[in-house]
Amino acid sequence: MPELYDVIIVGGGPAGSTAGTLLAKQGRKVAIFEKEQFPRFKIGESLLPGSLCTFERMGVKEKIDRADVIVKYGGKIVSACGTRTNRFLFSNVFRCKYPTAYQVERSRFDQILLDHAAETGCEVRQGVNVTDFVCAEDGVTIRTATGEFCGRYLIDCSGRNAVVGTHFNLRRNYPELRKFSLYAHFEDVDRLPGIEGTLTQMVRGRDRWFWIIPITPSKTSIGVVLDAQTFKRMKLSPEAAFRQILQENPKVIEQMSSARRVTEVYATSDFSFRNKCFTGDRWVLAGDAAGFIDPVWSSGVFIAVLSGEKAADMLDRVLRHPERRALEFKCYERHLGRVMDLYLRLVNSWYTQEFAEVFLNPQEFLQLVPAVNSVLAGSEKPLLQVRWRLWVFNLLVYLQKRFAIIAPRMSLQPNSQ
């Protein structure tokens, strides 16, 4: 008879490690199955202050603080045409609890979280691929090359190619976000001193945008997001295309005079999606297994940690009160859906010309700046004073689209106005 766990978690990334740690701290018997052997390369290096409270609750924040991470104070948006820059700081928000976050090298960061889950009491099995699962009235059984394992509940944190999502054909791509991304790590990218050198830089072009993220004292993550069709028309390999795109954008390449690439050039396509539901009879989706919107605004790890935390708390309550399962699952669906909707609206706005023009010409009245910053810092439930100001900000974006009365028009093209 296979050993029975309270919760089986598929995937040892931030969502899985968060869920496992919090369940183990409640005395639950938890097993985490990770198909890869850590450490491994992973993108998504920029975190938000909204995750720090969860890290403290997990008991892992001090371990992160001692690691080779960059303390992040905010972000900076730069127009590719070079005419405007806007810096946003996490200290300039409503009810600031954490004025900083982290820039991390994911191979090391994810290892810290997974090791901590094991130290907390989770049984961690790396290099074990979950190939199938079967749900029954009283639990779920997963199948691997090393055997079958049974649990009362399953949390799928296995990423974009989620075990549960694939099994039930739940994935739905966002049709308006058909994007393609190229990225790599570099050593010795030019970096400003002080707080400026910790910021996530986003260089906004007309049909593409770049990220420049310092992840260790010497290493920087650089990537570009563009329309999938634009990359297809280039008819180049990922490495050749990335090299050409960088050379065409002075605001990026001017920081790379001494830079040398230390990883291969990675390529990812069709990464924006959402599964049509997040719960089933005996399973819950969290992290990228539930959905992923876009690299902009650094919402990926934030939503992963948040959903891992919410899934753990919810299943702990369900294990204590099984009769409340339907209600608890419904609340989880609604909460995670609202958070993803919030960031989807921000992402869709980011890809419009009018949003870039308004954002790069910040309006200082009515405290609009700290309201927008609050969401960018990871406010999952914006306060009333934030919500109405966001409505005003969106109104300004609409007026800019119709009449161009809020900010001057911008080309967002390199070497132009």
Is 110 or 81 the better-scoring residue by pLDDT?
A: 110
3 — pLDDT class (breaks 50, 70, 90): confident
Give the burial class of 392: count Cβ atoms within 10 A of its Cβ; 0-12 exposed, 13-18 middle, 19 or more buried.
middle
Query: Which of 3.50.50.60, 3.30.70.270, 3.30.43.10, 2.60.40.10 is the CATH number of 4-69+104-173+272-343?
Result: 3.50.50.60
Q: Which of the listed CATH numbers 2.40.50.140, 3.30.9.100, 3.40.50.150, 3.40.50.300 matches domain 179-269?
A: 3.30.9.100
pLDDT at 2: 65
As given in the structure block, the two tokens for residue 180 are 């393609």
How confident is the model at residue 1, as a pLDDT? Answer: 55
* pLDDT above 80: residue 15: yes
Confidence of residue 81 (pLDDT cuts 50, 70, 90): confident
Cα–Cα dist 149/141, whole Å: 6
Statement: residue 293 has pLDDT above 90: yes
How do residues 153-193 score in pLDDT, each as one tens digit?
999 999 999 999 999 999 999 999 999 999 999 999 999 99
Question: Cα–Cα distance between 411 and 210 in angstroms, integer?
Answer: 16
In this model, does residue 107 exceed pLDDT 90?
Answer: yes
The tens digit of pLDDT for each residue in 346-400 reads 999 999 999 999 999 887 788 889 999 998 998 888 888 889 999 999 999 999 9
Is residue 217 scored above 60 in pLDDT? yes
Q: What is the pTM of this model?
A: 0.95
Q: 176: buried, middle or exposed (CB in 10 Å: 19+, 13-18, 0-12)?
A: exposed
Domain ranges, ordered by start, for the chain: 4-69+104-173+272-343, 179-269, 352-403
Compute the average pLDDT of residues 323-340. Answer: 97
Identical fold for domains 4-69+104-173+272-343 and 179-269, yes or no, is no
Q: Write the CB contacts of 72 (distance below 8 Å, at least 6 apart in sequence).
A: 46, 47, 90, 100, 101, 102, 103, 198, 199, 200
pLDDT for 33-57, tens place per residue?
A: 999 999 999 999 999 999 999 999 9
- Helical (H) or strand (E) element with 96: none
